[in-house]
Chain A
């Protein structure tokens, strides 16, 4: 149990995917203009991440390793993620139209989110067991949402600030992300190692 909590906190806060591993930066810079859409994208991503962690874990340990196909890892993972996103989209559309309306536009964006592929690769590298993998996916998703929402909040305020002209847009966003990363380092002491 303690191990699971550690995995969750590490993935969501101390080793935040966006701010320490630089995964999922594209939507972080592109989409984080409005808090509302940031929350939507965050929830959709968390959802896909958790399922992706579980599915790729099963495929890796019950198909790729026993049949000596580990060299196909990247190709398999990316296909799994792409089809999973498609499947989740169809499933939500059939079962819960309101949820689909809220998340729909964000779902296709998730395939190219490197945080998902990164998550599955880290999961294999760290030899997590099945339960840990799921918690890892959930934690990474929560961390991604957290960073995205904080960033969106700051950027909404930023519209009223006077930013030096050359830094407008991507420049200032990156610098703010840097400051956020510094702030998140403060959490470093929560868990050791």
Chain B
């Protein structure tokens, strides 16, 4: 059971390993706060749609499952979007059309198709939660790096020394691509190190 949750955090991390759900990842991570909000919204959608899909999985004919899953996901996205608009208007405005675009985030349909449509509710819940948390963590890391280098702040709090010149490129689209590309590289190095260490420990 616990494995279902943990695998989304590192081993099958949706962003660094599966490289899924790139649009929101790249678009909204100009600031750590936006990364966090987008991550939480996506987590909400992936968890609730996975649970619902897992509940109805036996009543859904195989041929029409994809449209049905998509409608379920779109419903929860609408809820998340209206919630953000009502309670966090500034954030909702900054995220713009990328909140409704969660509908086509491949991470969510991927979990529905690969896991929730085949497993019991409890396991689907943990699996989705793990993926959501892994996704959120990756978004915060990316957002934090871009915010620190691009604006000299983290969560709006200035941390860089006086006279630090902002790297404008980091808040531009180009910075998003390059930072994520390098992060994927760093992730691969760390992953390989951990694997060899585990093998040495095993003997």
Q: Are B22 and A25 in contact (CB under 8 A)?
A: yes
A interface with B by C-beta (< 8 Å):
19-26, 29, 71-75, 78-79, 82, 112-114, 117-118, 121-122, 125, 164-167, 170-175, 177-179, 181-182, 185
Of A19, A20, A125, which one neighbours B97 at CB under 8 angstroms? A125
B186 to chain A, nearest CB (A): 7
* Residue from B109, B184, B189 having most chain A Cβ neighbours under 10 A: B184
Interface members, chain B 177-192 (any A CB < 8 Å): 177-178, 180-182, 184-186, 188-189, 192
Q: Are A178 and B174 in contact (CB under 8 A)?
A: yes
Interface contact tally, CB-CB below 8 A: 120
**Interface check B71, CB cutoff 8 A:** yes
A167 to B178, CA, bound (A): 11
A108 to chain B, nearest CB (A): 10
A91 to chain B, nearest CB (A): 19
Tell me whether A29 and B22 are in contact in the complex, defined as CB-CB below 8 angstroms, given that A74-B100, A167-B184 are known contacts: yes
Size band of the B side of the interface? 35 or more
Q: Are B26 and A78 in contact (CB under 8 A)?
A: no
Residues of B within 8 A of A117 (CB): 100-101, 103-104
A148 to B105, CA, bound (A): 20
**Interface check B173, CB cutoff 8 A:** yes
A-B pairs, top 8 by smallest CB distance, nearest first, are A178-B177, A174-B181, A178-B178, A175-B181, A25-B22, A166-B188, A181-B174, A121-B97
**Interface check B61, CB cutoff 8 A:** no
